[in-house]
Structure 1
């Protein structure tokens, strides 16, 4: 699966985003990724691979729990529903969606308004490329630290059992 962390983007731009754009970046990036994903699946090259038995990788929307209490608790679930995708939402988000969530349809094949929203962020002075790089680096460091901590815990347990 290809995994894209989304809510971190909205947290990262936070109050720097104009009010009309708050809580919009994560969904726009997810929709842009979905459009690119569908472009690949609709390509002649992929169709040849599929005809030979290849199976598509799924697009995974990660970090879809809403972190800002001012935003809808089902923001990402509602905005990113689409065929052949996976949403790794936290239990709190799943329960919120079961309680009051409704879908009005899937992400449009063309990503809907993703390009316009991303352009509005760029016009507002948000360097989306730099933001993506920063978040990727922070995420890699965080995952590496978690892995190191896990390995340390396993080693401790192993040593205690000797």
Structure 2
């Protein structure tokens, strides 16, 4: 296996692709990623859809038909996106079957504008679930308090959920609790839990981006060379440390006697999914996060650029439980110099919701703009 991407699965990590657009489907690029690089899942990205709809021509024929039918821009956009999601779900279905429902999923998010509205998030979740009607679909719901309430209810109803925008350990604990509780409720009601699936998407690199900027400010505001050095040693350390501690929480929750009874009834693990694993700081190795978070029962969802980098020079080794003592020390050291882990992770979740909502709005705006360019019939 000269391709490092193909070495991930024997170590227990599933590779998912963070991208869908029709041109990639038609050109065979997505098929090649599945066949040659071992991709076993796909997540939709509204930014990618917006760019593809606005700039490309792969959607033109379907758009023209929908315009002739008098559909609104929102309905057109939803139809274009769900058509692609259905196509990808069909492509992934053999993987879904061969892995017993562990992989082979395609994820589609509800509107992030609803992240603090439980009822409307549930409404959107049910609408997409019914519209697409594929067993290997996951609905992406943000891990806000309101989102957690929605995702627990959705799971209880038998809807697969990809919980997004998780940043903190406490946030992860609440998400895992919601998943386990949903399985328990279904089992108590005599409902199937064997075919219910969920992943907990933990956003990685964004933590380093924000904390590194705070560290730079701390360095500028002190003249003590020893203190400056101490602060500088924390750069680029928080994200990996945080994810490794989350993995320990995952192992604790899903090795408990409480979950064992659910596992005997066919309940699946809610695997941690490492999202935002592209490296934002050019000073860091471009596959840093992908290399340092490899371990059993995990998922890494990579954009195309990271896949290409990892295929070229990724180094594969079991790394998720390396230096656990150091991981705890990183968070302790940040607190000692006045950087609040709780405030940083809460800020990142709120900013993430705002960015996702902006991307979602841009996707609809891109559809409207394309309609104007094409002209109404």
TM-score over 0.5 for the pair:
yes
Partner of 1:136: 349
Whether the 8 Å contact between 2:294 and 2:317 is mirrored in structure 1 is no
After superposition, what is the alpha-carbon deviation per residue over 1:92-126, rounded to whole angstroms, capped at 9, x for unaligned?
A: 22222222221332312995532122112212221
CA distance in 2, matches of 1:118, 1:107: 17
What runs of 5+ residues in structure 1 fail to find an aligned partner?
A: none
CA RMSD of aligned residues (A): 2.2
SS in 2 for 1:88: strand
- For 2:268 and 2:209, the matched residues in 1 are separated by 34
Q: Give the corresponding residue for 1:8.
A: 206
- In structure 2, how many angstroms separate the alpha carbons of the residues matched to 1:153 and 1:16? 35
- Candidates 6, 11, 36, aligned match of 2:249: 36
Moved more, 81-90 or 106-115: 106-115
> Does the 8 A contact of 2:201 with 2:272 survive in 1?
yes
Alpha-carbon distance between aligned partners in 1 of 2:267 and 2:369, rounded to the nearest angstrom: 43
Distance in structure 2 (CA, Å) of the matches to 1:110 and 1:42: 21
Instruction: Decide whether aligned partners of structure 1 residues 111 and 41 sit closer, same or farther in structure 2, where only a CA change above 3 A counts.
Output: farther
Q: How many residues align?
A: 162
Given the two structures, how large is their TM-score scaled by the length of structure 2? 0.40
Matched, 1:72 2:285: yes
Contact in 2 for aligned 1:38/1:109 (Cα 8 Å): no
Map 1:58-97; keep pairs closer than 5 Å.
Answer: 58-97=271-310
Which structure carries more strand by proportion? 2
Q: Flag the structure with more relative contact order, 1 or 2, with Cα contacts below 8 A and sequence separation at least 6.
A: 1
